[in-house]
Amino acid sequence: MITPDNFNIFVIPFTLGMTFVIIWLLATIVRLWRHMPQADRRRVRHSILTVSTLRAAGEIVAEVLIHRRIWKRNKFLGYMHMSFAFGWFMLIVVGKFESLTYTGNHFNPIWYPLFFKFFVPGEHEFFLSAFFTQAMDLWLALILSGQILAFVKRRMPGRTIGIRPRHTAVNRAALTALWFIFPLRLAAESVTAGIHGGGGFLTGTIGQAIAGAPVLDSLFMPLWWAYSISLGVFFVLIPFSRYFHIPVEGFLILARHWGVSDEATIRTLETLACSACGMCLRVCPRAQGDAPRMQPVYFIERLRAGRDNDNDVWGCLGCLRCEEVCPVVVHSTQIRMARKMQAVPQRRPQPAPAPVPQARQGVDVALFAGCMGKLTPGTKAAMNRILQAAGLAYAWVDEDEDLCCGRPLRLSGRTGEAQARMDRLKTALLALNPRVIVSTCPICYNMIRAAISARPVLHHTDFVAQLIDEGRIAVGRSAQTLTYHDPCELSRMADISSRPVSTLAKVGTLKQPDECGRESHCCGGALGGLAVAGHERTRLMTATADYLQRPGAQTIVTACPLCKKSIAQHAATPVVDFAEAIAKSLKTSSINQ
Ligand code: SF4
Ligand code: SF4
- For residue 349, being part of any structural domain is answered with no
Which of 330, 332, 334 has most ligand 1 atoms within 8 Å of its beta carbon, as the pocket-test mutant? Answer: 330
Reported residue count of the chain is: 593
Which of 245, 253, 326, 331 has most ligand 1 atoms within 8 Å of its beta carbon, as the pocket-test mutant? Answer: 326
237-262: buried (b, 16+ CB within 10 Å) or exposed (e) per residue?
A: bbbbbbbbbbbbbbbbbbbbbbebeb
Residue 317 CA: nearest ligand 2 atom is: 3
pLDDT at 349: 67
Which ligand sits nearest to residue 317's alpha carbon?
2
Atom 7 of ligand 2, residue of closest alpha carbon: 284
Q: At what angle do helices 169-196 and 216-237 cross, to 10 degrees?
A: 150
Which of 298, 301, 320, 537 has most ligand 2 atoms within 8 Å of its beta carbon, as the pocket-test mutant? Answer: 320
From 220, 243, 266, give the residue that closes a domain.
243
- For residue 376, being part of any structural domain is answered with yes
CA atoms within 13 A on the CB side of 373: 28
Distance 548 CA to ligand 2 centre (A): 19
Distance 346 CA to ligand 1 centre (A): 30
Which ligand sits nearest to residue 320's alpha carbon?
2
**CB 275 near ligand 1, within 6 Å:** yes
Q: Which domain holds residue 292?
A: 280-343
pLDDT at 375: 85
Which ligand sits nearest to residue 334's alpha carbon?
2
Same domain for 492 and 559, yes or no, is yes
pLDDT at 362: 81
Distance 284 CA to ligand 2 centre (A): 5
pLDDT at 157: 62
**CB 297 near ligand 1, within 6 Å:** yes
- For residue 535, being part of any structural domain is answered with yes
Residue 281 CA: nearest ligand 1 atom is: 4
Residue 522 CA: nearest ligand 2 atom is: 2
Same domain for 110 and 168, yes or no, is yes
Q: Counting Cβ atoms within 10 Å, is residue 581 exposed (0-12), middle (13-18) or buried (19+)?
A: buried
Atom 8 of ligand 1, residue of closest alpha carbon: 277
Instruction: Give the count of domains, the chain.
Output: 4
- For residue 411, being part of any structural domain is answered with yes
Same domain for 371 and 328, yes or no, is no
Which ligand sits nearest to residue 162's alpha carbon?
1
Distance 276 CA to ligand 1 centre (A): 5
Which of 270, 297, 298, 321 has most ligand 2 atoms within 8 Å of its beta carbon, as the pocket-test mutant? Answer: 321
- For residue 275, being part of any structural domain is answered with no
Q: What is the pLDDT of residues 194-245, one digit of tens each?
A: 999 999 999 999 999 999 999 999 999 999 999 999 999 999 999 999 999 9
- For residue 352, being part of any structural domain is answered with no
pTM of the full structure: 0.89
Residue 322 CA: nearest ligand 1 atom is: 3
Calpha distance 336→295 (Å, rounded): 11
Which residues are near ligand 2 (CB < 6 Å)?
283-286, 295-296, 316-322, 333
DSSP states of 261-311: --HHHHHHHHHHH-----HHHHH-GGGSSSSPP-SHHHHHHHHHTT---HH
**CB 77 near ligand 1, within 6 Å:** no
- For residue 18, being part of any structural domain is answered with no
Which ligand sits nearest to residue 529's alpha carbon?
2
DSSP states of 437-504: EEESSHHHHHHHHHH--SS-EEEHHHHHHHHHHTTSEEE---S-EEEEPPPHHHHTTT---HHHHHHH
Same domain for 83 and 202, yes or no, is yes
Which ligand sits nearest to residue 297's alpha carbon?
1
Which residues does the chain have with pLDDT short of 50? 590-593
Same domain for 449 and 483, yes or no, is no
Same domain for 127 and 234, yes or no, is yes
pLDDT at 528: 82
Distance 321 CA to ligand 2 centre (A): 6
- For residue 317, being part of any structural domain is answered with yes
Same domain for 381 and 331, yes or no, is no
R_g of the chain, CA atoms, integer Å: 30
Quick one: which H or E segment has residue 367? strand 365-368
Q: Which of 53, 40, 24, 27 is nearest to 263 (CA)?
A: 40
Same domain for 188 and 325, yes or no, is no
Which of 274, 312, 491, 522 has most ligand 2 atoms within 8 Å of its beta carbon, as the pocket-test mutant? Answer: 522
Which ligand sits nearest to residue 300's alpha carbon?
1
Pairing of strands 586-589, 473-475: antiparallel
pLDDT at 592: 44
pLDDT at 167: 83
Distance 63 CA to ligand 2 centre (A): 23
User: Which CATH number does the domain housing residue 438 bear?
Assistant: 3.40.50
From 343, 367, 396, give the residue that closes a domain.
343
**CB 363 near ligand 1, within 6 Å:** no
Q: What is the pLDDT of residues 489-527, one digit of tens each?
A: 999 999 999 999 999 999 999 999 999 999 999 999 888
Residue 323 CA: nearest ligand 2 atom is: 6
Same domain for 321 and 386, yes or no, is no
Same domain for 157 and 293, yes or no, is no
**CB 556 near ligand 1, within 6 Å:** no
**CB 303 near ligand 1, within 6 Å:** no
From 398, 430, 458, give the residue that closes a domain.
458
Same domain for 98 and 114, yes or no, is yes
Calpha distance 386→589 (Å, rounded): 9
Same domain for 398 and 523, yes or no, is no
